[in-house]
């Protein structure tokens, strides 16, 4: 179940907070609607519950706050707004990538696709989905980790009547299996039809907390909708007949040709119109909204049981939950036995809203930490020797004046980061297009340079003219690295609820590994393609293997991999693909000239013999020939381009580590 206590948003500059001391409960096995007009604070309350927005209050999910749950996506499935993801990614690819992020098997993607009815659209691109299909995909993403709780913000907004019926049936089926469902809506009729319990918000405060049946009796009224070109005359006749029959009938003229008749039936209205020869275009029964309800919060009653006749608000349709969801029914069957918020009377006296026992599994007992429980626990410090008369004469116990602060909880790294990054990189055509463009441009440049002449063979094979700061392969590797983070900040997909990509070293390591592997493959393909084109057009004279091919190959691979890493780190620090590519281009244009000026100065001492001294520091002898490779590596680093790349990578890595560690420092 969900227990929201004292949710209060930070005060705005010119007005009260959007949410002020909102407290309610959503029980397991039932559908709860958070109802209110636009601007009532529904979305803010949901974001405070999920620690996506700073404020005050605390929310328990089966007795544990969100920051105490090791893997929140396995406890709470969330759908906020549209599905975040690259528009070119397929439906199945999106879910398979989220499977790696949540740590579930990849087969789970096909199961939830079948559950939400998207099997036939699994190869469809996200950018081509309709509103209804997007809602289904969002629900599938929320169901991936088989959570116990579903929290959905405006899930039916913009949907057709058919899609709304399916969605309500899916939520009803999920709740019948023992899960907790909470959704927000601004339509009272939808709340009465789809929910078992309705919590009404108005002006950021709870104004009603009641069962759906009680809500329908107090908030909604049946009416007869009439549309006629003679609506004014019909209204007068209905009022006259009601006075003559001494019946209480209210006739409201909504526009020139439409009437809303309260307290009558379609048969009575139709007979009146027939007797007086009035043409009627529409005559139907409807449920009307009685308007916002003000006043203190009503006492919440116990939810209607699953077999209660009053729980018949669900629409047609349903959700065929795949295997793995049966544990929710077992959790619900354990009964309302464990009240993790033991001092519930304190909460009742503080907020004026009674607290019902919490339905939580046995293993969650004691999961509340001491600082969080101080808000709801009474501060009693009495001595056992005092009698009851002395205790009754004392002042009443005091409560904490404010609920605990809510700190925005940052997104966690994928549970399987390398698998997640591979599916992210290969799930869209951007990477393939970039590699293809790099191959084509390199081949054309190498042919042009060979025709012009005066270009050394290493630069000819790499398609690197002196006029360009970097060859096309290095630029392509840097662009692919910039996509690794920059594209995700534009189209987040790591978490349905978080939206932003976390700064975690595990995710960074995965992206660096995939970027390096992609750069090596692309650079090898570029050399092979350029050599093949030169051999085809100009013969074998330009494709002979140079004598120092090993050191040249190592330098080439290091250059391309370093460009890819610079793109990854820069896009992670600046959260932009453009900034990542700019950092790659800035190395030869800005940093290399600075390094050259620093190295051109007078030198009194040199670092000759550094590899030998390094081998002397180690306790084991280097293998034969290792000093030669170490010397080659040192020469590569002290070159202007190598030194500039090392300097840039070090600075970007330090900046990333600082931005990753800073949010954790409290």
- pLDDT tens by residue, 376-426: 432 333 333 334 444 444 444 444 567 788 887 766 778 899 999 999 999
Range scoring the smallest mean pLDDT among 250-264, 335-349, 391-405: 335-349
Higher-pLDDT residue of 645, 288: 645
User: Which pLDDT belongs to residue 542?
Assistant: 80
- Determine the pLDDT at residue 386: 37
pLDDT for position 185: 94
Per-residue pLDDT, 311 = 42
Residue 348 is predicted with a pLDDT of 36
Mean pLDDT of 222-228: 90
pTM recorded for the entire structure: 0.73
pLDDT number for residue 276 = 92
Classify domain 28-55+69-218+294-329 at the CATH topology level: Rossmann fold (3.40.50)
Q: Is the pLDDT higher at 2 or at 385?
A: 2
The strand pair at 31-35 and 180-185 is best described as parallel
Q: Which residues pair with 76 in a beta bridge?
A: 149
Average pLDDT over residues 471-491: 90
Residue 599 pLDDT grade (very low, low, confident, very high; cuts 50, 70, 90): low
Distance between CA atoms of 481 and 439, rounded to whole angstroms? 17
Which has more confidence, 468 or 664?
468
Model confidence at 617, in pLDDT bands (50, 70, 90)? low
pLDDT at 607: 52
pLDDT at 349: 35
CA distance 265 to 273: 13
Q: Rounded to an integer, what distance in angstroms lies between the CA atom of residue 486 and that of residue 86?
A: 12
User: What is the distance between the alpha carbons of residues 184 and 198, in angstroms, rounded to a whole number?
Assistant: 10
How far is Cα 593 from Cα 477, in angstroms, rounded to an integer?
22
Q: What is the mean pLDDT of residues 625-651?
A: 66
Q: How confident is the model at residue 601 (pLDDT cuts 50, 70, 90)?
A: low
Q: Is 613 helix (H, G, I), strand (E, B) or coil?
A: helix
Residue 319 is predicted with a pLDDT of 57
What stretches of 334-454 adopt beta strand conformation (E)? 405-406
pLDDT at 483 over 90: yes
The per-residue pLDDT of the chain, averaged, comes to 78
Whether the per-residue pLDDT at 313 is higher than 80: the answer is: no
* Res. 588 pLDDT band, cuts 50 70 90: confident
Q: Tell me, what's the pLDDT at 27?
A: 95
Query: CATH 3.40.50.300 in the chain, residues?
Result: 28-55+69-218+294-329
Adjacent-strand bridge partners of 108: none
**Contact call for residues 520 and 435 (beta carbons, < 8 A):** no
Q: Mean per-residue pLDDT for 219-240?
A: 89
Q: What is the mean pLDDT of residues 143-163?
A: 92
pLDDT at 533 over 70: yes
């Amino acid at each position: 179940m969900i227990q929201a206590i004292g949710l209060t948003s930070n005060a705005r500059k010119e007005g009260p907070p959007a949410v002020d001391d909102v407290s309610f409960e959503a029980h397991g096995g039932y559908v709860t609607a958070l109802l209110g007009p636009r601007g009532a604070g529904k979305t803010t309350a949901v974001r405070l519950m999920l620690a996506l927005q700073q404020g005050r209050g605390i929310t328990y999910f089966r007795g544990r706050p969100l920051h105490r749950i090791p893997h929140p996506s396995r406890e709470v499935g969330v759908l906020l707004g549209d599905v975040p993801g690259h528009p070119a990614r397929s439906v199945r690819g999106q879910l398979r990538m989220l499977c790696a992020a949540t740590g579930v098997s990849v087969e789970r993607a096909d199961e939830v696709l079948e559950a939400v009815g998207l099997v036939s659209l699994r190869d469809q691109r996200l950018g081509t989905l309709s509103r209804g299909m997007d809602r289904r995909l969002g629900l599938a993403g929320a169901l991936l980790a088989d959570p116990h709780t579903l929290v959905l913000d405006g899930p039916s907004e913009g949907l057709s009547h058919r899609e709304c019926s399916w969605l309500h049936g899916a939520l009803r089926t999920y709740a019948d299996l023992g899960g907790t469902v909470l959704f927000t809506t601004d339509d009272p009729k939808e709340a009465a039809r789809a929910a078992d319990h309705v919590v009404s918000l108005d002006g950021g405060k709870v104004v009603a907390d009641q069962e759906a049946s009680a809500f329908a009796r107090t908030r909604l009224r049946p009416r007869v909708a009439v549309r006629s070109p003679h609506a004014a005359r019909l209204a007068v006749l209905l009022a006259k007949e009601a006075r003559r029959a001494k019946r209480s009938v209210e006739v409201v003229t909504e526009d020139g040709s439409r009437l809303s008749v309260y307290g009558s039936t379609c048969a009575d209205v139709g007979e009146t119109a027939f007797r007086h020869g009035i043409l009627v275009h529409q005559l139907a029964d409807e449920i009307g909204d009685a308007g916002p309800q003000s006043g203190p919060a009503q006492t919440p009653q116990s939810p209607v049981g699953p077999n209660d006749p009053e729980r018949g608000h669900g629409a047609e349709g349903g959700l065929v939950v795949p295997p793995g969801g049966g544990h929710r029914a077992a959790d619900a069957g354990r009964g309302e036995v464990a009240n993790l918020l033991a001092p519930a009377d304190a909460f009742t006296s503080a907020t004026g809203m009674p607290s019902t026992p919490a339905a939580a599994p046995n293993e969650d007992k004691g999961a509340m930490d001491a600082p969080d429980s101080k808000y709801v626990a009474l501060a009693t410090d009495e001595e056992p020797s005092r009698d009851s008369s002395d205790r009754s004469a004392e002042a009443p116990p005091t409560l904490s004046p404010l609920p605990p602060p809510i700190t925005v909880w940052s997104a966690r790294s994928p549970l399987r980061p390398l698998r997640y990054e591979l599916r992210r990189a290969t799930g869209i055509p951007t990477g393939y297009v970039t590699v293809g463009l790099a191959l084509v441009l390199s081949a054309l440049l190498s042919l042009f340079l060979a025709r012009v002449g005066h270009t050394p063979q290493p630069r000819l094979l790499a398609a690197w003219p002196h006029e360009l700061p970097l060859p096309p392969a290095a630029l392509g590797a840097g662009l692919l690295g910039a996509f690794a983070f920059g594209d995700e900040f534009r189209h987040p997909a790591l978490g349905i609820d978080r939206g932003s990509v976390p700064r975690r070293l595990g995710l960074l390591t995965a992206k660096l590994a995939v970027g390096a592997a992609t750069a090596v493959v692309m650079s090898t393909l570029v050399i092979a393609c350029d050599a093949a084109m030169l051999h085809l057009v100009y013969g074998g004279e330009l494709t002979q293997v140079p004598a120092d091919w090993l050191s040249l190959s190592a330098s080439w691979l290091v250059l391309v991999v370093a460009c890819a890493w610079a793109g990854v780190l820069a896009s992670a620090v600046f959260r932009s693909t453009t900034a990542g590519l700019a950092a790659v281009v800035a190395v030869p244009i800005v940093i290399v000239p600075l390094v050259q000026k620093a190295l051109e100065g007078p030198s009194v001492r040199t670092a000759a013999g550094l590899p030998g001294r390094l081998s002397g520091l180690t306790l084991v002898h280097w293998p034969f020939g290792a000093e030669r490779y170490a010397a080659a590596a040192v020469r590569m680093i002290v070159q202007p381009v190598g030194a500039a790349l090392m300097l840039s990578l070090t600075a970007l890595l330090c900046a990333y580590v600082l931005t990753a560690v800073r949010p954790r420092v409290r």
